[in-house]
Amino acid sequence: MNQKFTHDDRLSKEIRQVIYTGSRFRIKNVVMYIKESSRPRITVIAGKRTGKSNKRNKLKRRTREIFRKQKCKLANYNMVIIYKKGSSEYNYGTIKEILNKLWTEAQVVK
Protein backbone atom coordinates (compact mmCIF):
# COMPACT_ATOMS: atom_id res chain seq x y z
CA MET A 1 0.00 0.00 0.00
CA ASN A 2 1.18 3.51 -0.80
CA GLN A 3 2.29 5.21 2.40
CA LYS A 4 2.61 8.75 1.10
CA PHE A 5 0.74 11.55 2.86
CA THR A 6 -1.11 13.06 -0.07
CA HIS A 7 -3.32 16.11 -0.33
CA ASP A 8 -6.33 13.76 -0.37
CA ASP A 9 -5.37 12.55 3.13
CA ARG A 10 -5.99 16.04 4.48
CA LEU A 11 -9.36 16.98 5.81
CA SER A 12 -10.22 20.56 4.90
CA LYS A 13 -13.81 21.55 4.24
CA GLU A 14 -15.47 19.12 6.65
CA ILE A 15 -13.62 20.18 9.82
CA ARG A 16 -16.58 21.94 11.43
CA GLN A 17 -18.92 19.10 10.57
CA VAL A 18 -16.57 16.57 12.22
CA ILE A 19 -16.15 18.73 15.33
CA TYR A 20 -19.86 19.48 15.77
CA THR A 21 -21.36 16.11 14.85
CA GLY A 22 -18.52 13.64 15.47
CA SER A 23 -17.47 11.71 18.56
CA ARG A 24 -14.98 13.29 20.98
CA PHE A 25 -12.06 11.61 22.74
CA ARG A 26 -9.45 13.20 24.98
CA ILE A 27 -6.14 12.17 26.54
CA LYS A 28 -3.94 14.70 28.36
CA ASN A 29 -3.79 17.87 26.24
CA VAL A 30 -4.94 16.21 23.03
CA VAL A 31 -8.54 16.12 21.79
CA MET A 32 -9.68 14.01 18.84
CA TYR A 33 -12.97 14.26 16.97
CA ILE A 34 -13.93 11.49 14.57
CA LYS A 35 -16.68 10.83 12.07
CA GLU A 36 -17.10 7.99 9.57
CA SER A 37 -16.02 8.61 5.99
CA SER A 38 -14.97 6.79 2.84
CA ARG A 39 -11.24 6.76 3.75
CA PRO A 40 -9.00 7.75 6.68
CA ARG A 41 -8.20 11.47 6.64
CA ILE A 42 -6.74 13.81 9.24
CA THR A 43 -6.39 17.47 10.17
CA VAL A 44 -4.11 18.69 12.95
CA ILE A 45 -4.85 21.91 14.82
CA ALA A 46 -2.39 23.53 17.22
CA GLY A 47 -3.35 27.04 18.34
CA LYS A 48 -1.05 29.84 19.42
CA ARG A 49 -1.41 28.86 23.07
CA THR A 50 0.29 25.56 22.25
CA GLY A 51 3.65 27.25 21.73
CA LYS A 52 5.72 29.13 19.21
CA SER A 53 5.26 28.41 15.52
CA ASN A 54 8.26 26.10 15.23
CA LYS A 55 6.92 23.94 18.10
CA ARG A 56 3.39 23.89 16.62
CA ASN A 57 4.68 22.95 13.18
CA LYS A 58 6.84 20.18 14.65
CA LEU A 59 3.78 18.75 16.43
CA LYS A 60 1.80 18.81 13.19
CA ARG A 61 4.59 17.22 11.15
CA ARG A 62 5.10 14.45 13.69
CA THR A 63 1.36 13.76 13.89
CA ARG A 64 1.02 13.57 10.11
CA GLU A 65 4.05 11.26 9.95
CA ILE A 66 2.54 8.90 12.55
CA PHE A 67 -0.76 8.96 10.65
CA ARG A 68 1.05 8.28 7.36
CA LYS A 69 2.74 5.20 8.81
CA GLN A 70 -0.44 3.91 10.49
CA LYS A 71 -3.12 4.77 7.91
CA CYS A 72 -3.22 1.27 6.43
CA LYS A 73 -4.22 0.02 9.93
CA LEU A 74 -6.89 2.69 10.50
CA ALA A 75 -10.58 2.40 9.71
CA ASN A 76 -12.33 4.93 7.46
CA TYR A 77 -12.81 8.00 9.64
CA ASN A 78 -12.30 11.72 9.30
CA MET A 79 -10.16 12.80 12.26
CA VAL A 80 -9.50 16.22 13.73
CA ILE A 81 -6.64 16.25 16.25
CA ILE A 82 -6.46 19.38 18.44
CA TYR A 83 -3.42 20.06 20.60
CA LYS A 84 -4.01 22.19 23.69
CA LYS A 85 -1.64 24.30 25.81
CA GLY A 86 1.31 22.33 27.17
CA SER A 87 1.49 19.75 24.41
CA SER A 88 4.33 21.46 22.50
CA GLU A 89 6.93 19.65 24.61
CA TYR A 90 5.80 16.17 23.53
CA ASN A 91 8.43 14.15 21.70
CA TYR A 92 7.74 11.71 18.86
CA GLY A 93 7.32 8.71 21.18
CA THR A 94 4.84 10.51 23.44
CA ILE A 95 2.76 11.72 20.49
CA LYS A 96 2.70 8.22 19.00
CA GLU A 97 1.65 6.72 22.34
CA ILE A 98 -1.15 9.27 22.84
CA LEU A 99 -2.46 8.85 19.27
CA ASN A 100 -2.42 5.06 19.56
CA LYS A 101 -4.37 5.29 22.84
CA LEU A 102 -6.89 7.66 21.24
CA TRP A 103 -7.30 5.45 18.18
CA THR A 104 -7.72 2.35 20.34
CA GLU A 105 -10.26 4.06 22.62
CA ALA A 106 -12.21 5.27 19.59
CA GLN A 107 -11.96 1.81 17.97
CA VAL A 108 -10.45 3.31 14.84
CA VAL A 109 -7.68 0.69 14.58
CA LYS A 110 -8.69 -2.27 12.39
pLDDT (tens digit, 9 = 90+) per residue, 57-109? 999 999 999 999 998 999 999 999 999 999 989 999 999 999 999 999 999 98
- Give the amino acid at 109: V
Q: Tell me how many degrees the CA angle 51-18-65 measures, rounded to the nearest 5.
A: 50
pLDDT digits (tens, 9 = 90+) for 9-43: 777 778 888 999 999 999 989 999 999 999 899 99
In this prediction the pTM is 0.88
Q: Largest alpha-carbon pair distance within the chain?
A: 37
What is the predicted pLDDT for the residue at 3?
Answer: 73
Q: Give, in words, the CATH class of 7-105.
A: alpha beta
Domains of the chain, residue spans? 7-105
